[in-house]
Structure 1
């Protein structure tokens, strides 16, 4: 199918190749940001490569931190520095607060009825207030402490049973995150009998799939020919069927539990937020929780453990900190973590080098705006390359590619949206509302892993020798291949 896709594209390019010269000669001499030369029809699509965050970072070295691309018919601004990100997400936050349309998200996320991808406006403000005040408040995060501790304990027991044997850490961390989110959002775990995990894998893969129709509408038939339309339709129907069953089960039981579905149904019943919230909105919000909470959280933990295993001296220092603070304890609690400064530095350094969403969620301008003396028209998509920003030598010094948690000890830069040098969760109006929810889980899991077990890579592993780990493709960037490690219990 990929070969057929490329042949069709090349035929289309050859057919209208003369348009290239017409396009080059007729470009408006308006004051637009620097832009690489583009091909007719597909624009700069061919320059994205398998890992767009890396390709765009390389292009920014030549064309600057504010660069204009054309992905088919879509004008796209690429931001690759903290200073320009501040202009977009703070100075002109309201102008760039909307989200672009995409066939993938329209099909899979209830046509913008969710929070993450809803267009900027009253509906989005209402849904965000529901999430921030009713689902993701500090009070709600604290209320699920027992769920986190129980699932972490089960994970530790599972690893303990394989002590001194090779374990698939990627699979273990993915299962833990899925189980925690399931219990908090839906009230119970959903395992293999519903194929829920496989369904979520399909969802995240399709959210990152390239749709030709998004960029070149008159070639949208290629999406049908390649099977993308069919996959989107089937996954949408399967997701909706599953979520509808979950919501209806909660309606029928009408119990006293306080998972997210119960909270949303109570809001719907009591109309306590001052506006109507329907069944579709409930399902869209729940889907957001999974998309934003499962893949990204496990991806971060996977990269943390990868970096620690590649840097044994950092792992040893972290273990010394955790074991000193928790001396005599069998596990690490949320209260213990408050004084673990090196743990927090390790997580910040991993977020700098491996932001789970390296290109973040795209923004879109709602009106014409002047940005850095350039004219940016309404309807321009903005990609913010958090991966490139985390590697700016001006901020991070001469060794930005090195994993060195100590660099954060003398830095006031944080990842909660106020410092644009480190924005893995975004910033401004569209910042991820679940930062506290994610950070608490990640800190507690990682602290417990290094407290109870000594870790090393298998003897046959070449990772620690090469230092190179292949990345996956898609929206969230995790390891291409699972992380296997050997755990030895210290008790």
Structure 2
């Protein structure tokens, strides 16, 4: 008995260093399989690397140039893999698509999408697959997109008339087009008689800004105190409550009134909720889809047109060529016929080059690794957050000559498209998580560009020269211009009399 205690102490003295050493070796081996990345601070990990005056997609691009196209970051408790090359993106979105098909939980997203039940933020599973099917075949099918042609013409021609009334004066193109695009999306989603569009627009815009904000609770999910203390979460809950009240009223009105000649997205969802046999939607599921469309649909199209106009004014040669084509195709016409826009080949190249240089979502929404997987020889651990830097991929000099120059001609006789088959060009993503609203979004980009190039000549506000136009991007739900775009319109082809 006299020797038991000293023996125990001796055992601890021998075994403890051994256990520490073995743990160190095991962690070293595990870390050796992870992608390379910058050094980490205790507890915080690489959060200090993200503190910069630059946009996150640029920060990650710079880091990837040092550490490689598959890079590992530790953000608090989160293990994050950053993908910055077409080859690695293909492995994530095609080769191992099923392993990366889910979403990482984000507090703001969980709130605004009614418990992550939207097509954008929903986790991969049977519910999400059925919702994706409804979205693709019913809500955003080509037939449905064409059914909204009258609405596109009404909204964008209406904005053209406003431009004409302000001829010769500087207009805030960014603001005016953002308002018009939200009007279009909200009317397509909720009907043409919704009286609360302005209130909804204000709230959705604020949600978009808050969604890009940093919340410490997201990177330390196990510490519930952070969620309780989160000012961001509290503000989002307030806005979400206000949006929910508006949607409740709109749903009640839809159920109480007769259908109009123009069926909106909410009509389709309510019909499916009532008649769907193999898949049921709750009222909150319906609201989640609507919020998804209001936020995603308006932000992405609006951002793309804003950047396209900025690039055209920055590059007078391209502007002149695009205008000449549109005016030649529609010569003698009162206005633009949407069905003939495919004849505007160069305009379509302008749109493609805009999407390459300025993808609306430069960092694709984070995916979740459902099980440990290998990418480019590195191990991506289960539950890791995976971020594909589409902005970096779209400017990869290995695939794009003069990648930072706006050159629509690069797509002449180039088979590379944006339908998810060419991983060097991913404005809409690829695989199971590819954007289902691609056709709808393109229609909302091509028609207004054709309209405004046909009816107006444009110059920069304040007598600014093209070479002086600031092209810096910001970071929110989408990567809008950091500074709003002011343009001066001059009527070239008068709009038809109402």
Indicate the SS of the match to 1:29.
helix
Contact 1:151/1:176 (<8 A) preserved: yes
Stretches of structure 1 that go unaligned for 5 or more consecutive residues are 1-22
Q: Measure how far apart 1:115 and its partner are.
A: 0.8
Is residue 271 from structure 1 mapped to residue 276 from structure 2 by the alignment? yes
Quick one: distance in 2 between partners of 1:305 and 1:137?
A: 28
Shift of 1:471: 2.2
* Alignment partners' CA distance in 2, 1:105 and 1:193: 22
Contact 1:191-1:197 within 8 A present in 2 as well: no
Q: Retained in 1: the 8 A contact 2:215–2:230?
A: no
Q: State which of 134, 144, 148 in structure 1 corresponds to 2:152.
A: 148
Asked if structure 1 preserves the Cα contact closer than 8 Å seen for 2:112 and 2:288, the reply is no
Establish whether residue 28 from structure 1 lines up as the match of residue 25 from structure 2.
no
Displacement of 1:475: 2.6
1:129 paired with 2:133, answer yes
- Listed one character per residue, the Cα deviations across residues 400-458 of structure 1 (whole Å, up to 9, x for unaligned) are 11111111113211111111111111100010101001101210110111000000102
> What is the alpha-carbon root mean square deviation over aligned residues?
1.9
2:455 is aligned to 452
Structure 1 contact 212–220 (Cα < 8 Å) conserved: no
Q: Greater Rg, structure 1 or structure 2?
A: 2
Alignment of 1:430 onto 2:433: yes
1:483 maps to 485
- State the SS of the aligned residue for 2:133: helix
Please point out which of 469, 472, 482 is paired with 2:471: 469
> How far apart in 2 are the matches of 1:332 and 1:483?
24
- Pair 1:96-2:100 in alignment: yes
Q: Which position in structure 1 is the counterpart of 2:389? A: 385
Task: Describe the shift of the 1:193–1:247 C-alpha distance in structure 2 as closer, same or farther (beyond 3 A).
Answer: closer
Task: Name the structure 1 match of 2:213.
Answer: 209
Q: Cα gap change, 1:369/1:113 in structure 2, threshold over 3 Å: closer, same or farther?
A: same
Hey, what does 2:307 align to over in structure 1? 303
Q: In structure 2, which of residues 256, 263, 280 is the aligned counterpart of residue 258 of structure 1?
A: 263
Q: Secondary structure at the match of 1:35?
A: coil
SS of equivalent to 2:406: coil
Q: What corresponds to 1:374 in structure 2?
A: 378
Say whether the 8 Å CA contact 1:212–1:219 is kept in structure 2: no
Q: Residue deviations 1:262-315, cap 9 Å, x none?
A: 11111111125x221111111111111112200111000000000001111100
Cα distance in 1 for partners of 2:26, 2:226 equals: 29
TM-superposition CA deviations, 1:322-354 (whole Å, max 9, x none) = 000000012112222111111111111111111
Task: Give TM-score, length-normalised by structure 1.
Answer: 0.91
3-state SS in 2 of match to 1:112: coil
SS of residue in 1 equivalent to 2:43: coil
| Distance in 2 between residues matched to 1:213 and 1:24, nearest whole Å | 29
> Aligned pair in 2 of structure 1 residues 24, 54: CA closer, same or farther (>3 Å)?
farther
1:407 aligns with 2:399: no
Distance in 1 (CA, whole Å) between partners of 2:354 and 2:57 is: 16
Distance 1:190 1:118, change over 3 A: same
Encode CA deviations 1:33-59: one digit per residue, 9 max, x unaligned.
111111112211221234110000000
Native 8 Å contact 2:111 2:237 kept in 1: yes
2:42 aligned residue: 40
In the alignment, which residue of structure 1 is the partner of 2:348? 344
The number of aligned residues is 467
Q: Residue 205 of structure 2 aligns to a residue in which SS?
A: helix
User: Within 2, Cα distance between the matches of 1:447 and 1:345?
Assistant: 13
In structure 2, what is the equivalent of residue 321 of structure 1?
325
Local SS of the residue matching 1:382: strand
SS, match of residue 153 in structure 2: helix
1:357 is aligned, of 332, 345, 361, to 361
Tell me the distance in 1 between the aligned counterparts of 2:453 and 2:309.
9
**Residues 443-490 of structure 1: CA deviation (Å, up to 9, x unaligned):** 01101110000001024436x333532322223110122110010001
- Runs ≥4 residues deviating over 4 A: 23-26, 189-194, 218-226
Give unmatched runs, 5+ long, in structure 2: 1-22, 494-498
Is residue 369–residue 377 contact of structure 1 (8 Å, CA) maintained in 2? yes
Q: Which residue of 1 aligns with 2:165?
A: 161
Whether the 8 Å CA contact 2:170–2:462 is kept in 1: the answer is no
